[in-house]
Structure 1
């Protein structure tokens, strides 16, 4: 198929075999049906096959002695399905010289119409020949889908081949994307390429990792300025330095087409370079993506860039990894600029030595900026404070944030950062300084989260300044001025968490992504992140379960459970959903990890505490007690309840000592970091309404635990276990049951005191506690118990008989002494028996009625005279005790327990429940006569009476029966009946309620006042009233000498109060269910009637029942 005819060589004049000329045009067998144009790509590709070694590319002459070149040539012809006529013409120096001459000088007509003299390949080959270089394997396929992309990566082009390549690229008008990365082009190569690339049409130019050096700035500037269509420039890893870098920036500055500029790994960072970049950000708003990573920007070089961000409104992605923006306040000003920049979407500031102070400003920025959704902070020493600050920002804007904290050190503590756990102090803040402004915003956030006023004596530039506090819209919309000196005192009152502190689904989703993402590459890293997260966020138990599922190691899962237990809103739900589903080994690890915190019950926090504050768990317990105490103080002050504290500050901390030195605790006090803290705490929380005492089976079980523990000499641990069980199973007990438990507890030591204080918050009939528990103890134990709980927490003025040892130097002892003096003066007979003062017997002097001594020890036994008591006075004194302030009227039926093994709830009185509830003097249920199911089975009634029935109170008679009628859509009446005394069953009045309303709709506070007052008035009536045979009451003659105002009540009090209620209720007091809204009620019904009593005591008798 081939001819052996030789054609003359156009260079040497010798003949050349025809197959050499025709080989490049032969069509393989499998392509004979295609057109010549379609085969042009293969033809041109063949023309630029590598026919020289790599060493030839850098040599000025060709080496014809290398037999490998001949082998490659032979391979070329074999792949083209050619077979020379004579093998002799394929070998030898003469054949080699002829071959190169043919392909360098052969006229285009010899090669056919597929080869153009002016093509890019022709220009490349001619340049290679002029430079005595071997052509490189640079293949461009014009027919492919990448025909506009010229990509020669990692081919070792070098400086000399750059010139040949430039000649080729000058003729490629169709190429728009050029990638010459990793080719060792250097500065000289860029100069050679500059002329070829200085033409429009190029969109993307990649010269990354070519070691262009510090002299490449000028030619790069020429290329950038000449290409008005250029949009992306990749110059990473070229070591340009500041001089060349500034040339590039100056060339990009006026461009309105360049959107992506990559300058990483270029040793940039001087102040002039930073100023150039800052000018670029301020003046060029076309740029969208800027990469300055892995450079040397820090301090003065980085500051112009950080400041310029505020004035840029075009950049969307900024990469500053591996620089020094964390030095000084550079990152602080960067965050400040982002507060007003509303275009940047991604910021990578990883490995920049960002500290916790910078993170606080970034956290503040995230609350203001709503466009930045990706913040990469990997590898920075943000510390615990910085991590917490970012978590607080996530709580507010978690739905739009992608914050990466991988490899961050969140364990270090610098100690100088603003701490939201200890915000109290005096502040002078410059609102124009980013950090000071961030602190001011943090104080605002705390003020909004905490109830009450926290900012005091605030001024702005020396003028009075009032910050809107609270939950109103005005507080939410308020913005601090941009400048000025803000001065204030902040006093925080830590409170128990509420819905504001809980991680909503947005923040929780972000937290879960962080724990499951690359930043938590190990479970140890997850634990560190979780510890930072849990400092400022609280979780629902279902969220806790999801987070625990991310831990696979049992030990790590228990560590995570310990962290999350402290931040769980519902303690009971945690035990049900987490603790009960652990293995016994895991449960034991959890108990050991939590220590005493495992046994702490916020609903029964009363007890004696002795804690080492350098232990984190101990500090957690103190923090919980502090928050609980502040909640209780706030509630009591809101309700204007009497102060029953030891020191008259409403704080229920008692006998507090730090390192054995007494101090006065305040709710705003910062918990010390170290030292031995010892104190007693008395919770004012009482059991829920209608709480049911222990069933006999439950009581026997708990009693058996104490008996067994006594035998094993491990009663203190048994008390802790009993306390925990009662908390988890919502168990309550009566005073009689407590007395039975005390019988099996050894009397030596303070074991009995620990048991009493441990279950004090679970006692449902506190009115019997003083007589049957306090007075039953020996004098030493009694004094210890009173010191721990306080007289006002255990005393019952309605049943005051007993022995007292009072230290008049203590406030609560003085209050009890004043009460006993008032009773001795008001009540008949000799009430004080065997009284002593400072060890000497004495009679109560009249001067003590006006004021008692400030010091001294008083001992006395109080005895109620058989002639009776003064219930109104006792009721008034009752308001000064824990018992009186915790009395409820209508107990909440929805919180009672049932008879089964599991807890059940009873509905409030409704259409399927009829009957009556008999209330005693304070409104508690003495008996319930309802047609619904009883709370205990009939088989347990007898044994229940044995343990749960307490003796009646002394001096108290009578009660109130409220009929619970069936609800209907029609108007209903709620008859109130008074039992006992002279008023046998006297109906006071019918309270007309609106449709769809019932007794509990009137309002608990109103009912409490009315019912307690009715009970007080009814109990005053003498029970020995004679009744005539016809049923009418006998009239008694009273001499003036023996006149008693209490007899007058029999004739006037009940009718007067009946008319009083009729008048009040008849004026629309509760019409339409608006009792509290439409009427101004007296401050105290009881006080109204006490005033009536005083008028009678002054012998101002009147025959008019309306007096």
Structure 2
């Protein structure tokens, strides 16, 4: 015997007086047979309960020696061999030894090559019909170049194996064909609790097979499918699975390209699920609509504790198809196929709305059969037990008309929904970064008072996340004049940070958005304002809200005719200039401010002037104050007398435009301006807004006949001039 082997035998013989339970002597002997030098780290670790041979570069001969050792070893319970340079010839005996070892419960073979033969051997080793005494509970095969054929062999054995708890097969080439075998395994296996299939080639069909296997599986607790290509159909399948699965507590769908349609179905599943605690959707293009559906699901689910949204895109550019269904504005005709999960999710939300607002279903047919819920021979909607008993196939035709009053987003969030949001944000397990992601979603679908916003922001610690959360909340508060109350819980540094980022847009209010905007879309606060203007334009029914649009100093003539698809795909950089006109006005017969109230208001403006407040700032402050005022044209004219600069006078008229109760007299406001100011007003508000009829059209017009709106006005003016040519000189 060479001296090196004799020395090793003598050194470790003293440590193992009760026999070679660790297998060291076998390892030394096998190394001698293979003609290699025993690795000291193997000899040190093999007698420990947790042995680590990671990155040892054992090679195939070293693998054979370790395998012989494992057959003898009765001490080690966890063995890590990741990156140990095992070739297929060296891996084969190692996995075969698992069938003989009765104490090893965990083995990590990551970053080694396991070919089909090695996987077949591993399948035989864990097959209880061949090796009933093996004790393996966790197998890690990360980045082992696994092939579908080998995975299918392992899954067949796993169906009978009732000891394995964790299986990691991330970073391989697993495709849809393997997923069918994995799905079949999940239907029969009753012990597996953790399954990691991240970073593979799983597509929609594979995820459907996995979802089918998970549907009635009650033992799997954690499933990782991150960085696969699930996309719409795969995400939809996971959403359908969530409706009935009652085992999963963690599901990772990060970077799986799930779309808003898939999120819509997934959100419906979240509403029904009672076990899921952690859902990871990082790095997915959820879009504005996907975020809105998730937010609604969170309000109905009080079990979910962690929602991962890092790197998520909430851009409206990702919205498509039925995913843009908005329960806050649901009126319309629907023809849905209940066999399609996305369309069925829309039907389920319409059912929930009918329960909340009875009588909203005006004309309904199910599979061509008409059903009436009012009048003689009608049936009760409650008797249908929708959406619980909603069919899974067939046609669904509905005319929906909800009596919701004013647009829902003009009203602040109710207490129940606010409490649900607070519960999500106050979760002690969440970080401020996670809370910021939630606020981005919450802010997209509701309005708040500053006091309510302050409650939500109080869940944050001190830092930049709190400042950025305040930016998102700012665009949704209805009482911007109480901004100081929203920021009451902020430090001086945080408060200054919010106001600095907002700049002059701290006076913006969604209830009176009419005005001129110059926005840098690369700046978060200003892009929030642009996004809000897009939302408001959509709510107004795609009227001509956007005028005189310039993007990157270039005129966008197509936008001058109104709201277009370009606004849905709002760029994330560049300079945007736009004149926005809102079409929401005070209700008919609204009482304007009394003379006493108006003079008190003017007195406040005079105090601002006496205090030295710049006129430009006074004009901007009006934007925050005017939302609760209803004024007459004469009162606006009176206020104009306090300003001398044309820019300020034009801004005053634009600011009060949506608060005037006697628009028939608006021509008097225009007549109080000089000709250049008149032209500016007509251009900014739109010619037909500034001049609703031609009875009082003695104004200065600056018309661009390439703009259809301007061209129509020009034609009407010419026609009127021709009609009145014999009486007076109109031009």
Name the TM-score, length of structure 2 as normaliser. Answer: 0.68
For 2:169 and 2:654, how far apart are their aligned partners in 1? 74
Q: Is 2:600 aligned against 1:600?
A: no
Output one character per residue of 1:368-426: Cα deviation in whole Å (capped at 9) or x when no partner.
Answer: 11111111111222222222221221222255231101122222424333231654432
For 2:8 and 2:181, how far apart are their aligned partners in 1? 49
Determine the structure 2 residue equivalent to 1:307.
212
Shift of 1:755: 8.0
Q: Is the 8 A contact 2:173 2:201 kept in 1?
A: yes
For 1:354 and 1:539, how far apart are their aligned partners in 2? 30
The match for 2:107 among 196, 205, 225 is 205
Q: Are the structure 2 counterparts of residues 623 and 446 from structure 1 closer, same or farther at C-alpha, using a change threshold of 3 Å?
A: farther
The match for 2:399 among 477, 486, 489 is 489
Determine the structure 2 residue equivalent to 1:130.
33
Q: Is the 8 A contact 2:277 2:303 kept in 1?
A: no
Output one character per residue of 1:650-670: Cα deviation in whole Å (capped at 9) or x when no partner.
Answer: xxxxxx98899xxxxxxxxx9
Shift of 1:334: 1.9
Output one character per residue of 1:537-589: Cα deviation in whole Å (capped at 9) or x when no partner.
Answer: 34453453353967856xx9887545423322554543544499897996586
Q: Is 2:449 aligned against 1:533?
A: no
Q: Is the 8 A contact 2:211 2:237 kept in 1?
A: yes
For 2:657 and 2:221, how far apart are their aligned partners in 1? 62
Q: Secondary structure at the match of 1:487?
A: strand
Q: Are the structure 2 counterparts of residues 557 and 338 from structure 1 closer, same or farther at C-alpha, using a change threshold of 3 Å?
A: closer
For 1:113 and 1:682, how far apart are their aligned partners in 2? 92
Alignment of 1:992-1031 (within 5 A): none
Shift of 1:364: 1.2
Output one character per residue of 1:308-367: Cα deviation in whole Å (capped at 9) or x when no partner.
Answer: 2213222111111222122x5122112101211111111111121112211111111111
Q: Are the structure 2 counterparts of residues 598 and 204 from structure 1 closer, same or farther at C-alpha, using a change threshold of 3 Å?
A: closer
For 2:372 and 2:25, how far apart are their aligned partners in 1? 82
Q: For the aligned residues, what is the CA RMSD?
A: 5.5
Q: Are the structure 2 counterparts of residues 480 and 156 from structure 1 closer, same or farther at C-alpha, using a change threshold of 3 Å?
A: same
Q: Are the structure 2 counterparts of residues 511 and 414 from structure 1 closer, same or farther at C-alpha, using a change threshold of 3 Å?
A: same
Determine the structure 1 residue equivalent to 2:121.
219
The match for 2:152 among 228, 237, 246 is 246
The match for 2:348 among 432, 438, 441 is 441
Determine the structure 1 residue equivalent to 2:285.
381
For 2:244 and 2:502, how far apart are their aligned partners in 1? 47
The match for 1:287 among 192, 210, 227 is 192
Determine the structure 2 residue equivalent to 1:321.
226
Alignment of 1:460-609 (within 5 A): 460-465=366-371, 479-483=388-392, 484-491=394-401, 494-495=407-408, 496-500=410-414, 503-511=417-425, 517=431, 530-545=439-454, 547=457, 561=470, 563-568=472-477, 570-578=479-487, 590=502, 592-593=504-505, 597=509, 600=512
Output one character per residue of 1:488-531: Cα deviation in whole Å (capped at 9) or x when no partner.
Answer: 1234552332544874344235357799748669xxxx5x8754
Alignment of 1:745-824 (within 5 A): none
Alignment of 1:19-34 (within 5 A): none
For 1:190 and 1:348, how far apart are their aligned partners in 2? 30
Output one character per residue of 1:756-795: Cα deviation in whole Å (capped at 9) or x when no partner.
Answer: 99599899xxxxx9xxx99xx89989xxxxxxxxxxxxxx
Shift of 1:189: 2.4
Q: Secondary structure at the match of 2:110?
A: coil
Output one character per residue of 1:851-881: Cα deviation in whole Å (capped at 9) or x when no partner.
Answer: xxxxxxxxxxxxxxxxxxxxxxxxxxxxxxx
Q: Are the structure 2 counterparts of residues 544 and 389 from structure 1 closer, same or farther at C-alpha, using a change threshold of 3 Å?
A: same
Q: Secondary structure at the match of 2:251?
A: strand
Shift of 1:448: 5.8
For 1:101 and 1:724, how far apart are their aligned partners in 2? 87
For 2:65 and 2:319, how far apart are their aligned partners in 1? 60
Q: Is the 8 A contact 1:745 1:752 kept in 2?
A: no
For 1:464 and 1:737, how far apart are their aligned partners in 2? 56
Determine the structure 2 residue equivalent to 1:410.
314
For 2:27 and 2:248, how far apart are their aligned partners in 1? 44
Q: Secondary structure at the match of 1:456?
A: strand
Q: Is the 8 A contact 1:501 1:538 kept in 2?
A: no
For 1:415 and 1:393, how far apart are their aligned partners in 2? 19
Q: Are the structure 2 counterparts of residues 569 and 148 from structure 1 closer, same or farther at C-alpha, using a change threshold of 3 Å?
A: same
Determine the structure 2 residue equivalent to 1:355.
259
The match for 2:241 among 332, 337, 340 is 337
Q: Is 2:276 aligned against 1:366?
A: no
Q: Are the structure 2 counterparts of residues 613 and 419 from structure 1 closer, same or farther at C-alpha, using a change threshold of 3 Å?
A: farther
Determine the structure 1 residue equivalent to 2:552.
none
For 1:383 and 1:697, how far apart are their aligned partners in 2? 46
Identify the structure with bigger relative contact order (alpha carbons < 8 Å, sequence gap 6+).
2
For 2:586 and 2:428, how far apart are their aligned partners in 1? 41
Q: Is 2:363 aligned against 1:457?
A: yes
Q: Are the structure 2 counterparts of residues 593 and 280 from structure 1 closer, same or farther at C-alpha, using a change threshold of 3 Å?
A: same
Determine the structure 2 residue equivalent to 1:165.
66
Q: Is the 8 A contact 1:597 1:617 kept in 2?
A: no
Q: Are the structure 2 counterparts of residues 540 and 448 from structure 1 closer, same or farther at C-alpha, using a change threshold of 3 Å?
A: farther
Alignment of 1:715-730 (within 5 A): 725=625
Q: Is the 8 A contact 1:292 1:320 kept in 2?
A: yes
Alignment of 1:951-970 (within 5 A): none
For 1:115 and 1:688, how far apart are their aligned partners in 2? 100
Shift of 1:207: 2.3
Q: Are the structure 2 counterparts of residues 780 and 477 from structure 1 closer, same or farther at C-alpha, using a change threshold of 3 Å?
A: same
Determine the structure 2 residue equivalent to 1:120.
23
Q: Is the 8 A contact 1:214 1:239 kept in 2?
A: no
The match for 2:55 among 124, 138, 154 is 154
Q: Are the structure 2 counterparts of residues 344 and 482 from structure 1 closer, same or farther at C-alpha, using a change threshold of 3 Å?
A: farther
Q: Is 2:585 aligned against 1:681?
A: yes
Q: Is the 8 A contact 1:354 1:380 kept in 2?
A: yes
For 2:20 and 2:671, how far apart are their aligned partners in 1? 118
Q: Is the 8 A contact 1:342 1:370 kept in 2?
A: yes
Q: Are the structure 2 counterparts of residues 623 and 362 from structure 1 closer, same or farther at C-alpha, using a change threshold of 3 Å?
A: closer
Q: Is the 8 A contact 1:350 1:377 kept in 2?
A: yes
Q: Secondary structure at the match of 1:681?
A: coil
For 1:551 and 1:104, how far apart are their aligned partners in 2? 60
Determine the structure 2 residue equivalent to 1:185.
86
Task: Select the structure of larger CA radius of gyration.
Answer: 1
Shift of 1:280: 0.4
Q: Is 2:166 aligned against 1:260?
A: yes
Q: Secondary structure at the match of 2:149?
A: helix
Q: Is the 8 A contact 1:597 1:621 kept in 2?
A: no
Shift of 1:487: 0.9
Q: Are the structure 2 counterparts of residues 544 and 515 from structure 1 closer, same or farther at C-alpha, using a change threshold of 3 Å?
A: farther
Q: Aligned pair count?
A: 611
More helix by share: 2
Output one character per residue of 1:78-134: Cα deviation in whole Å (capped at 9) or x when no partner.
Answer: xxxxxxxxxxxxxxxxxxx6x4585489999x9899485897333222222333332
Structure 2: stretches of 5+ with no match in the other structure: 375-380, 520-526, 548-561, 568-578, 673-692, 696-731
Larger mean CA deviation between 288-297 and 199-208 belongs to: 199-208
